[in-house]
Amino acid sequence: MRDPRYDILFEPVRIGPVTAPNRFYQVPHCTGMGHRYPESEAALRGVKAEGGWGVVSTQETEIHATSDVSPSNQARLWDEQGVSALRLTVDAIHAHGSLAAVELVHNGLHAANRYSRVPPLAPSAVVVDSDDPMQARGMDRADIADFRRWHRDAALLAREIGFDIVYVYAGHDLTLLQHFLLKRYNYRTDEYGGSFENRLRLFREVLADTKEAVGDKCGIAIRLAVDELLGEDGLTHDGEGRDIVAALADEPDLWDVNLSDWANDSQTSRFSEEGFQEPYIGFVKSLTSKPVVGVGRYTSPDAMVRAIEKGVLDLIGAARPSISDPFLPNKIRDGRIDDIRECIGCNICVAGDRTRVPIRCTQNPTMGEEWRRGWHPEAIPPLDDKGPYLVVGGGPAGLEAARALARRGAEVVLAEAGTEWGGRVSRESRLPGLAAWARVRDWRLGQLRQSPNVRMYLESRLTADDILEHGSPHVVLATGATWRADGAGREHRTPLPFLAGRPVLTPDDLMTRGAGAIASPGAVVIFDDDRFYMGSVLAELAAGAGHETVFVTPAPVVAPWSENTLEQERIQKRLIGLGVGIVPLHGLAGLSEDRLRVECVYSGRTQEVDCGTLVAVTSRLPNGGLWEDLAARRDEREGAGIRSVTRIGDCLAPGLIAAACYSGHEFARSACA
């Protein structure tokens, strides 16, 4: 039964001529599916609607070939393939009684038009904001008239397809309408440039065009970045961001407000808390009588209610929480708060778009597989063969495999060698900024502890003899992986002889013993060849404990893969702020008692840095001993009644926590299929 405190979340909200059935609003977000994978896109959005999101939006929907962000895969309303794909999406959303919203976009100077090969458009002749060696063409009045017509035509087509809400979008530093608003892109001297009113003119005209075209049947939403966190160099919530809202206050039917750019809007939990946008967007409702939606990685219904009762929001917007748990609204409705699969704010979902592949999620391994594999986040078919299954290892892969197997009705025995559940998740969540990652462990433990068909044992290190004696017909090995101390990784593909026998620390040492693992005097050198988050959080740990810290990497910047999770700039700034010395583009060349010799990856020139402690963050080796022992005793396995032995997660192939959860889930789905 629902807690009456949350009744306010289920009140309908009028948005112009349409009504949202509740206050849960899945704001526009990319999926990596777009126009190329229409069935997958439709199935994903349909599951959100089934899960109770009253409004479900598309991702960016390009309105013309001059706004082509290929190879990024967004939606399109400028060719028949894109239109057909969106029809499927609308139908999937409407099938569950939710409103369908479309985010019309022209990307302006953000679109290099690599596929269409049309020169990009911008308010003025400026360089595009990608690395492409090209410039955008400054628009003349005929171009502006064309753009207005394209937007109007797209709005009419959206209404014909069946969308209930149509966006006029000026946010994330991605859109032509925002580019006209910004002095750094708009150098015009005509009526569309110069003064605030002139720079606002096109936005006002397109809004009026859209209302006139489809406002009788569709709610008209503005999506606006009210602050860019650039100070006087950009929009601010107490400057022109506020002025835009004041100028257009009651003209749209809905205000969808956020921060710009995407890295500010979708900050990870490492750098922000739930509701972190409220100080920037909180003014909007004081200037308009129309409903306001905003985001802030809300997963707690208490925080949602507070934002509404404080007058910050009318609708709770979500992208990442709706990815982590598409059924979040229904779980609140049904009084199943403890079953919410809370977003951990890791931005692996974002990384899918950035790497041009369909979306994935650390917490929700079914995300992106709704159509391709027929996976549903809340439903899993029962097993004919109930096992029992012996799962060895209580990290993310083992926990997810055990949970999903139990949901299928299997008898499960889960054995963990250590003193706590969670494996690498528990260890990593104790590192600076990663506490929210413990939700991966905690949600699965909560589900397992409700399952009468699961027996769980800590401090149970099993040998091959133990497993043979136990005789479970199905054995699942989730024994994880161990960080290497020999330097082998991307830059150095084989172990480095000069590290042999030296007291080199690894992430496992620091995760197990904290900064106390650093016993030697002198500087701590983090050698990062992993190139994601681990090296930088260990540098934070060492620097935070008062150690002189140096970060050495063969990469050109700190943690380059974190560009895909929108964190790289924040990570490097944080290390600089902590006084960490950064030596990019260098590998390892030698180590003495208190000096480390590093070598430029281009020239081969070497230099020395002080080094009392070397921490190698390079690569991991699967913990494969138990697998090898059982493989060598195949005949005995058959005699003991063991029909299958399967490796999952990091002990199969070390990777992201998301990959480990997926591996565990995939095994459970395919077991005895």
pLDDT in tens, 610-645: 999 999 999 999 999 999 999 999 989 989 999 999
Average pLDDT by consecutive 10-residue portion of the chain (673 residues)?
93 98 97 93 98 97 92 88 92 98 95 91 92 93 97 97 97 94 96 97 98 98 97 94 97 97 95 97 98 97 98 98 98 97 98 93 98 97 93 98 97 98 98 98 98 97 96 96 97 96 95 93 96 98 97 98 98 98 98 94 97 97 97 92 96 98 97 66
- Please tell me the predicted confidence (pLDDT) of residue 561: 98
Q: How many residues does the chain have?
A: 673
Q: Enter the tokens of residue 128.
A: 């595009």
- Measure the CA–CA gap between 293 and 318, rounded to whole angstroms: 9
Residues in contact with 97: Cβ distance below 8 Å, sequence separation at least 6, in sequence order? 21, 49
**Which 3 state secondary structure label does DSSP give 259?**
strand
Q: How many CB atoms lie within 10 A of CB 278?
A: 16
Name the E strands within 426-519: 454-457, 474-477, 481-483
The residues carrying an active-site annotation are 30, 169, 172, 265
pLDDT digits (tens, 9 = 90+) for 330-367: 999 999 999 999 999 999 999 999 999 999 999 999 99
Residues 6+ apart with CB under 8 A from 434: 269, 270, 428, 533, 537
CA distance 285 to 301: 21
Give the model's pLDDT for residue 332.
Answer: 98
Task: Tokens for 319, please give them.
Answer: 């992208």
pTM for the model? 0.96
Enumerate long-range contacts of 445-450, CB under 8 Å, 24 or more apart.
445/399, 445/421, 446/338, 446/339, 447/339, 447/403, 447/406, 447/407, 448/399, 448/402, 448/403, 448/406, 448/414
At position 398, the amino acid (one-letter code) is: G
What is the reported pLDDT for 201? 98
Domains of the chain: 4-354 (3.20.20.70), 389-480+623-670 (3.40.50.720), 484-619 (3.50.50.60)
Predicted confidence at residue 672, as pLDDT, reads 64
**188-197 burial: b if 16+ Cβ within 10 Å, else e:** beeebbeeee
To the nearest 10°, the Cα dihedral for 150, 155, 161, 165? 150
